[in-house]
């Protein structure tokens, strides 16, 4: 079986593995949020916002400092993403040592599908991954910035203007979701980089990445609780 046939079979298989896992994770997050790390963190962030907005005079500094740390983390990720985009663009322009790319009159180490079209598709996919990471992180900064202002509005005054704790918690959670999506885009770039070496390393990396993400994403709280969208109630823990 030649390289082209392997690309046609293994590359979609690797992408399907990643897509299937995230569809399963999304379903689990919607139906059983307390069995995922993302869901548990979202619930705790909502509780935290309610606590911070009860008395902003006492907790306002703590709230703003916490959100500032999140903004700094998102800014760092966004800066890294756009820097990697620039680096990949420079390497491609100069033929700077990418496998299968000839530069400065010297042949580089060939790996995988080294045709011009194949390399173009691979590099374009990597650039798209980093650009998506950048856009997601920028959106994360946007929502965190909104939340950092709204969280200092007292609950009693905010109710009159429509600024409720649930609204602020929603903005904070959306910022966290975009941060997670940006991080996923970084994770997704690993199989794409290995795709340059060939479809076999790419599909192996996809499978290993899914296994690692499973242990990072799935959580079984020891003191199980259920979330109804507005309050958290203690419930006997049940295995899912």
Per-residue pLDDT tens digits for 152-185: 877 665 555 567 888 889 999 999 999 999 999 9
Mean pLDDT of 185-197: 91
pLDDT at 227 over 70: no
Measured CA to CA, the distance from residue 166 to residue 64 in angstroms comes to: 17
Q: How confident is the prediction for the chain on average, in pLDDT? A: 81
| Higher-pLDDT residue of 152, 4 | 152
Mean pLDDT of 65-78: 93
Structure tokens at 202: 């790419």
Please tell me whether residue 101 adopts helix, strand or coil conformation: coil
Looking at residue 106, its pLDDT comes to 40
Where residue 60 falls among pLDDT bands split at 50, 70, 90?
confident
| Higher-pLDDT residue of 135, 235 | 135
Domain ranges of the chain: 60-187
| Residues 6+ away with beta carbon under 8 Å from 22 | 184
Tell me the backbone φ, ψ of residue 32, rounded to 5 degrees.
-135, 70
Looking at residue 223, its pLDDT comes to 47
Q: Please tell me which of 60-69, 79-88, 172-181 the model is most confident about, judged by mean pLDDT.
A: 172-181
| Higher-pLDDT residue of 121, 203 | 203
pLDDT at 233 over 70: no
Tell me the backbone φ, ψ of residue 223, rounded to 5 degrees.
-115, 60
Measured over the CA atoms of residue 42, residue 47, residue 53 and residue 59, the dihedral's sign is negative
Mean pLDDT of 1-24: 86
pLDDT at 109 over 80: no
């Amino acid at each position: 079986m030649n390289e082209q046939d392997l690309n046609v079979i293994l590359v979609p298989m690797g992408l399907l593995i990643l897509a299937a896992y995230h569809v399963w994770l999304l379903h689990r997050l919607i139906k059983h949020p307390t069995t995922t790390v993302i869901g548990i963190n979202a619930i705790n962030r909502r509780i935290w916002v309610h606590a911070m907005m009860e008395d902003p005079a006492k907790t306002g500094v703590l709230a703003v400092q916490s959100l500032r740390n999140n903004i700094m983390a998102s800014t760092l990720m966004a800066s890294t993403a756009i820097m990697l985009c620039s680096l990949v663009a420079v390497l491609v322009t100069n033929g700077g040592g990418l496998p299968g790319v000839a530069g400065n009159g010297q042949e580089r180490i060939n790996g995988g599908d080294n045709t011009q079209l194949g390399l173009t598709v691979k590099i374009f996919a990597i650039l798209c991954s980093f650009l998506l990471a950048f856009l997601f992180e920028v959106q994360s900064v946007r929502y965190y910035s909104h939340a950092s202002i709204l969280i200092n509005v007292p609950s009693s005054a905010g109710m009159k203007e429509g600024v409720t704790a649930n609204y602020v918690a929603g903005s904070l959670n959306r910022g966290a979701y975009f941060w997670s999506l940006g991080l996923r885009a970084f994770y997704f770039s690993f199989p794409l980089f290995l795709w340059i070496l060939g479809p076999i390393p790419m599909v192996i990396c996809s499978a290993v990445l899914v296994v690692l993400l499973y242990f990072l994403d799935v959580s079984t709280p020891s003191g199980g609780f259920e979330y109804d969208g507005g309050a958290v109630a203690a419930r006997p823990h049940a295995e899912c």
